[in-house]
Amino acid sequence: MLDILETVFKNMTSSKLDRIITFSLAMLTLIVFTGASVRLTQSGLGCEDWPGCSEESIIPEWELHGWTEFGNRILSALVGVAALWAAYACKLRQPFDQRIVRLAWWIVAGVAFQAILGAVTVFTELHPITVSAHFLISMVLITACVYLKELNKPSNNQDNIGKDPTVLAGLLGLGMIFGTLVTGTGPNSGDARSDRLDFDIESIARVHSLSNWLFVAFLAVLLYRHSCNKPVRQQLVALGTLSIAQGAIGYLQYELGVPPGIVLLHVIGATLLWLGVSFFHARNAQIWQSYMSRD
């Protein structure tokens, strides 16, 4: 069996591996969107058991909520297969790099952990803290996969602009954490039976939007500070544009009473922004650059 796999995977050049890692990254991103769709269609407890849908049957009955939730479980299995495929391909990369293999297996472990957390989410009837952790760990996995892509590049001729990208990612991370607390307090729980957090919705939404404006303000500072560096400037302009659009969607959904369609757009925007900041960090942060240049 291993021989067959090695034949399929032979001549694992860095560009061939890049395509496999990109596929895994696309799957890790897609599952966030479908996971949010499960919540926003109130299908979070469409299956009340795990790994089977109910105590009586592995698969759901012909009913929309059940299949929406179960479909997401099937997709999560594919996310696992994609991560395993990438890890095995990393092992065969020529030239071999232990750091790449190690990171790829950490991603596999993270996906396995998410499967367990998915079960805990079902058994706690979508407790907002487990839902929030599920989302935030997905963000960590996306970042890890971006790093994997960058580590796999044959040459590293990126910029090192010091600690700024790390501070930027930290600020966005904080805004995202507050975002999940707004979600945990608001009405889009995924099922009417779920607990809600005890925050005042107006206050927590205000803290969330303020922390994101702090991120946008720091982005503007970086744009000024690195205006002479064309590639860095271009990346910052793209991130700034996405952030403004994301902020506008945020206000719109708040004013309209968080309608599911716009909330889904907000989740997609947040995930893409995080993906962008992860690339920005992997390409420009001092901490990551010094790790990459280590043998």
Q: Which of 130, 253, 278, 284 touches ligand HEM by CB under 6 A?
A: 253
Q: With CA atoms as reference, report the closest residue to 292 among 171, 148, 163.
A: 148
Q: Does 273 bind ligand HEM (CB under 6 A)?
A: yes
Check: CB of residue 65 under 8 Å from CB of residue 41.
Answer: yes
Distance in Å, CB of 118 to ligand HEM, minimum:
15
Distance in Å, CB of 117 to ligand HEM, minimum:
14
Tokens encoding 237: 């302009």
Q: Which stretch binds ligand HEM (CB under 6 A): 72-80, 107-115, 181-189, 278-286?
A: 181-189
Q: Does 250 bind ligand HEM (CB under 6 A)?
A: yes
Q: Which stretch binds ligand HEM (CB under 6 A): 1-9, 160-168, 217-225, 252-260?
A: 252-260
Residue 84, CB half-sphere, CA atoms under 13 Å: how many? 8
Q: Does 127 bind ligand HEM (CB under 6 A)?
A: no
Q: Which stretch binds ligand HEM (CB under 6 A): 2-10, 59-67, 89-97, 267-275?
A: 267-275
Q: What percent helix, strand, coil does the chain show, rounded to 5?
A: 75, 0, 25
Check: CB of residue 66 under 8 Å from CB of residue 44.
Answer: no
CB atoms within 10 A of CB 137: 15
Q: Which of 17, 83, 205, 239 touches ligand HEM by CB under 6 A?
A: 205
User: In terms of CB distance, is 147 or 215 closer to ligand HEM?
Assistant: 215
Check: CB of residue 264 under 8 Å from CB of residue 40.
Answer: yes
Distance in Å, CB of 270 to ligand HEM, minimum:
4
167-185 exposure pattern, b = at least 16 Cβ within 10 A, e = fewer: ebbebbbbbbebbbbbbbb
Q: How many residues bind ligand HEM (CB under 6 A)?
A: 28
Q: Which stretch binds ligand HEM (CB under 6 A): 2-10, 113-121, 171-179, 190-198?
A: 171-179
Distance in Å, CB of 179 to ligand HEM, minimum:
3
Distance in Å, CB of 230 to ligand HEM, minimum:
24
Q: Which stretch binds ligand HEM (CB under 6 A): 12-20, 53-61, 161-169, 180-188?
A: 180-188
Distance in Å, CB of 248 to ligand HEM, minimum:
8
- Taken in order 25, 172, 251, 187, the sign of the CA dihedral is positive
Separation of CA 103 from chain center: 16
Q: Which of 89, 145, 239, 267 touches ligand HEM by CB under 6 A?
A: 267
Distance in Å, CB of 156 to ligand HEM, minimum:
28
> In whole angstroms, how far apart are CA 19 and each of 12, 22, 38, 76?
11, 5, 29, 20
Written in H, E and C, the secondary structure of 212-230 is: HHHHHHHHHHHHHHCCCCH
Instruction: Determine the Cα–Cα distance for residues 64 and 69; give it in Å rounded to an integer.
Output: 9
User: Contact positions toward ligand HEM, by CB under 6 A?
Assistant: 36, 135, 175-176, 179-180, 182-183, 186, 188, 205, 208-209, 212, 215, 243, 246-247, 250-251, 253-254, 258, 263, 266-267, 270, 273
